[in-house]
């Protein structure tokens, strides 16, 4: 978490196999005050564990979460290139991604396809589901070590490629993703971010961007598996969803898909292997209303279980972080 001072503070974390580090806060009706007093200790805990659940803050609404974010002294981050529209509750504070409750959301690092992804994520549970719905986490360095060496070498050398098709039917619209419908402004943004683009005859936009799949943590230098190779790949979709999208839009017109950095398609076996490594290193704690989950977005991937019943979780993004210079593709129309 680059922009919070890192000092040792004995917070009294509870450590249990299979669960992220847990901090119990007792007798507080001032979440923002707790955040101001504990930010150095929280930074140290994140540096050591990558993710921490804070229980007992009594977060009741988005105003409470916004106040905690503010008192942590970090830079809120506006989401860009979103893949699904969110509600905005304040600077850097959003609703969870709209994802079907009956389908799990697999492991990924938030906005890892951008040049300046958030270094810090805060997930706040305002109401818990009746079944499932945990926000799970996995250590990116451990996942990297668990993957086959030849696969890591290839991704480390070539990076990964994300392709997107923006239309008004599936996923984020052009306006939601870029904040404008002006073609010149969209092209200028793509050019500045090393994104290749092509306008289609129907007015939709297709883009491609190459990014690093393995990065070094900006604080401790450890190598991390940092990408959305599996999450945004066609083989991670439910079979019936993939079949519908391919039939409707064709393999070249999917809302999003991922490839090896040289453009070669990812086999289903590779996607399954990556997701299996994530699952082997996944830890989870069921949500309780008022919980806060702090995540170092470079060190730690996150996912979401399928769930039943009402679930209200909001996410704050902060500390935009420029990582290793990415292997970009030639920008411009393609």
What is the per-residue pLDDT across 223-274, written as a single tens digit (0 to 9) for each? 999 999 999 999 988 888 889 889 988 888 899 999 999 999 999 999 999 9
More confident residue, 240 or 168: 240
Q: Is the residue at 334 inside a domain?
A: no
More confident residue, 239 or 145: 145
Q: Is the residue at 2 inside a domain?
A: no
Q: Are residues 64 and 148 in the same domain?
A: no
20: closest CA among 217, 287, 273, 274?
A: 287
How far apart (Å, rounded) are the C-alpha atoms in residues 223 and 217?
Answer: 6
pLDDT at 29: 83
Q: Are residues 190 and 251 in the same domain?
A: yes
How far apart (Å, rounded) are the C-alpha atoms in residues 222 and 285?
Answer: 25
Q: Are residues 253 and 157 in the same domain?
A: yes
How far apart (Å, rounded) are the C-alpha atoms in residues 313 and 289?
Answer: 9
Q: Is the residue at 172 inside a domain?
A: yes
Q: Is the residue at 255 inside a domain?
A: yes
User: Which stretches does DSSP call E strand in the chain?
Assistant: 21-24, 51-55, 88-90, 93-95, 105-108, 118-127, 131-132, 135-139, 160-166, 195-199, 205-211, 214-216, 223-225, 256-260, 282-283, 292-296, 300-304, 307-308, 312-320, 332-333
Report the interhelical angle of 62-71 vs 31-49 (nearest 10°): 60
Domain count, the chain: 2
Give φ, ψ of 40 to 5 degrees: -65, -45
> Whole-number mean pLDDT of the chain?
91
Q: Are residues 256 and 161 in the same domain?
A: yes
Q: CATH number of the domain that 163 lies in?
A: 3.60.130.10
Q: Are residues 112 and 187 in the same domain?
A: no
- Domain boundary pick from 247, 276, 305: 276
Q: Is the residue at 73 inside a domain?
A: yes
Q: Is the residue at 103 inside a domain?
A: yes
More confident residue, 84 or 74: 74
114, 108 contact by CB (below 8 A): no
Look up the domain containing 303 and give its range. Answer: 21-141+285-320
The DSSP output letter for 76 is B
What is the per-residue pLDDT across 169-197, written as a single tens digit (0 to 9) for each? 777 889 999 999 899 999 999 999 999 99
Q: Are residues 116 and 149 in the same domain?
A: no
The neighbour count for residue 18, using CB atoms within 10 Å, is: 8
What is the per-residue pLDDT across 22-70, written as a single tens digit (0 to 9) for each? 999 986 789 999 999 999 999 999 999 999 999 999 899 999 999 999 9
Q: Are residues 134 and 152 in the same domain?
A: no
Q: Are residues 27 and 136 in the same domain?
A: yes
């Amino acid at each position: 978490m680059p922009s919070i001072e890192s000092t040792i503070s004995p917070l009294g974390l509870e450590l249990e196999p299979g669960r992220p580090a847990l901090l119990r806060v007792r007798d507080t009706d001032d979440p923002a005050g707790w955040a101001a007093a504990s930010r150095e200790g929280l930074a140290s805990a994140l540096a050591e564990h990558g993710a921490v659940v804070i229980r007992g803050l009594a977060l009741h609404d988005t105003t409470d979460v916004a106040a905690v974010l503010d008192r942590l002294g970090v830079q809120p981050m506006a989401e860009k290139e979103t893949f699904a529209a969110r509600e905005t509750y304040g600077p850097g504070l959003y609703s969870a991604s709209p994802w079907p409750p009956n389908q799990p959301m697999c492991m990924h690092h938030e906005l890892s396809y951008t040049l300046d992804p958030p270094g810090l994520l805060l997930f706040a549970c305002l109401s818990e589901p009746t079944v499932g719905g945990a926000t799970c986490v996995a250590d990116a360095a451990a996942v990297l070590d668990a993957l086959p060496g030849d696969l890591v070498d290839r991704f480390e050398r070539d990076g990964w490629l994300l392709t997107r098709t923006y239309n008004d039917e599936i996923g984020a619209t052009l306006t939601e993703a870029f904040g404008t419908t002006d073609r010149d402004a969209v092209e200028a943004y793509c050019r500045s971010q090393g994104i290749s683009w092509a306008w289609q005859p129907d007015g939709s936009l297709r883009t491609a961007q190459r990014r690093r799949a393995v990065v070094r943590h900006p604080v401790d230098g450890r190598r991390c598996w940092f990408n959305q190779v599996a999450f945004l790949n066609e083989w991670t979709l439910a079979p019936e969803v993939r079949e519908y999208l391919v039939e409707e839009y064709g393999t070249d017109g999917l809302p999003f898909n991922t490839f090896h950095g040289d453009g070669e398609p990812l086999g289903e076996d590779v996607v399954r292997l990556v997701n299996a490594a994530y699952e082997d290193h996944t830890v989870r704690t069921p949500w309780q209303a008022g919980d806060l989950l702090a995540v170092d977005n470079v060190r730690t991937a996150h996912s979401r279980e399928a769930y039943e019943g009402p679930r209200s979780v909001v996410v704050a993004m902060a500390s935009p972080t420029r990582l290793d210079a990415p292997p970009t593709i030639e920008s411009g129309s393609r």
